[in-house]
Structure 1
Amino acid sequence: MAVLVTRPAEKGIQLVDMLNKSGVAALHLPFFNITAGRELNDLPNKFNQLKPNDYVVAVSQSAVDFAAETLQNTGFHWRTDLQYFTVGQQTALHFASLSEQPVHYPFLSENSEGMLALAQMQNLKGKNVLLLRGNSGRELFPQQVLARGGDIDILECYQRQPIDYDNVEQTSICKRAGIQTIVVTSGELLNTLIQFVPENEYDWLRSCQLVVVSTRIENMARKFGWTDIVVSPKADNNTLLQTILTLTS
């Protein structure tokens, strides 16, 4: 079995390396480069405007990294009187190590739905929430913050810059490499994958096993026609590796 990893940046490179070292042939085909966001200069001022016990939510390690670098370069520090959140355990550990602050995350469901199920998110009346994310993202969390009485401020910490490929050539390379399993870690990546592969190769694409990280992405894939879909319990690379190794055993 050969695996195609669409996860961008260092996480994608790391997963490919982990798979190869475990005896699973893997290729990396990232659709985006991750670069600094256009609103990072506003971050120190946004932090100063928050009231004690307001919330800061980071959607990914990239958001944490760019925010931490910006605060360090401008002489600011992570405030000790705020509450910090992420959508996943690995990002929470990373966030906590850089900020030296406690970071909350949903244990059972590492996504927006899990975040919204946390006790701290049930009544947001009078609460300001600063959301650190990329130049696009799901709108469920911001919408629910407003619906629950809070105020949401979204700050673009990073940008996803599309990578220009010859899609016919890259699809041919994947087929020749024997790709049978594709790892997709977001709905945006799934849509990009479908748009990237030429329509005359859709039968091949749908014949590949899909490894995703949520039932939401699974449902999106089923609407496109996939039937062989495996949902990884979590989105971190260690869990994805174990999920894939289970498929090969």
Structure 2
Amino acid sequence: MNVLITRPDQRGLELVEMLNQHQIFAIHQPLFTIEAGVELPQLPSVMARLNAGDYVFAVSKHAIDFASATLEQTGFHYRSDLNYFAVGQQSAQYFSARSEQPVRYPITSENSEGLLQLAEMQALSGKNLLILRAETGRDLLAEKVSSLGAEVQCLECYRRKYVEENLTEKISLCKRVGVDTIVVTSGHILTMLYEQTAENDRIWLNECRLIVVSQRIANMAYKLGWKQNHVILSEKADNNSLLETVLKEIEKSN
């Protein structure tokens, strides 16, 4: 098995190293880098205006990192009278460590749908919700809580800067070196991967085993031409879970 890791930044590099330690050939080719969002300077004042008992959601570790760094630089601490949420156990633990506050998360479905099932989300009238996210993202959470009577503000903590230089050629190189498995951790990555793959390489792309972290991304893959038996759903999105998924696929192939 030869694996392409598209997860950006340090976590992508860490996953490559974990695979290499198991004698698995892996390439790190992120499709974008992460940089600070333009709305970050507003974060301290936005959080200061929230009422006691209001909700703060972090959609990713990137959002947590940029938000926490901004608050630290301005001497503003995470308020203990707010309720904090994350989409999964790993990100909740990380958010809790950075904020020094308890962070709630969905146990069964680590996604926006799971968040919406939490007991705290069933009575939102009069609540203010602050969502820490990228410049774009899924609108399901914001739309749903707005319909339940909450006031929602999305704050851009980070933005994606897409890799432009020779990306199509870099993807083609992955084909030439025998990549047959691709790890994709977001819908944005999947869409860009497909769009930046040369047309004469897309047969190879759709024949690759695709490891994804949510059913939503899997459904996107089906629409882009992957067969269902070529799409593997990792139980969670953290690197340990992704490694375990790769190892299980190798075991099934032997």
Say whether the fold is shared (TM-score over 0.5): yes
Task: Give the aligned partner of residue 47 of structure 2.
Answer: 47
Q: Deviations over 1:146-194 (max 9, x none)?
A: 0111010110001111112313421331012210000111111110011
Task: Give the aligned partner of residue 5 of structure 1.
Answer: 5
Give, in whole Å, the separation in 2 of the partners of 1:188 and 1:167: 15
1:67 to partner: Cα distance: 0.7
Task: Give the aligned partner of residue 234 of structure 2.
Answer: 232
Any residues of structure 2 matched to 1:58-69 within 5 Å, and which?
Answer: 58-69=58-69
RMSD over aligned CA atoms reads 0.9
Gaps of 5+ in 2: none
1:201 to partner: Cα distance: 1.1
Report SS of the residue matched to 2:180: strand
1:99 to partner: Cα distance: 0.9
Tell me, yes or no, if structure 1 residue 244 matches structure 2 residue 251. no
Give, in whole Å, the separation in 1 of the partners of 2:187 and 2:172: 24
Q: Residue type matched to 1:16 in 2? A: V
Give, in whole Å, the separation in 1 of the partners of 2:9 and 2:178: 23
Report SS of the residue matched to 2:107: coil
Number of corresponding residues: 249
1:136 to partner: Cα distance: 0.8
Tell me, yes or no, if structure 1 residue 213 matches structure 2 residue 186. no
Matched-pair contact (CA < 8 Å) for 2:52–2:81: yes
Report SS of the residue matched to 2:249: helix
Worse-superposed segment, 36-45 or 171-180: 171-180
TM-score normalised according to structure 1 size: 0.98
User: How high is the sequence identity, in percent, across the aligned residues?
Assistant: 51
1:27 to partner: Cα distance: 0.5
Task: Give the aligned partner of residue 147 of structure 2.
Answer: 147
Matched-pair contact (CA < 8 Å) for 1:167–1:198: no
Give, in whole Å, the separation in 1 of the partners of 2:165 and 2:181: 20
Task: Give the aligned partner of residue 187 of structure 2.
Answer: 187
Report SS of the residue matched to 1:158: strand
Matched-pair contact (CA < 8 Å) for 2:55–2:128: yes
- Structure 1 residue ranges (4+ consecutive) displaced by more than 4 angstroms after TM superposition: none
Task: Give the aligned partner of residue 111 of structure 1.
Answer: 111
Q: Residue type matched to 2:10 in 1? A: E
Q: Deviations over 1:79-128 (max 9, x none)?
A: 00000000111111111111110001111111111111111112210110
Gaps of 5+ in 1: none
Task: Give the aligned partner of residue 28 of structure 1.
Answer: 28
Q: Deviations over 1:30-88 (max 9, x none)?
A: 01111111011100100111001100000011111111111111111010000000011
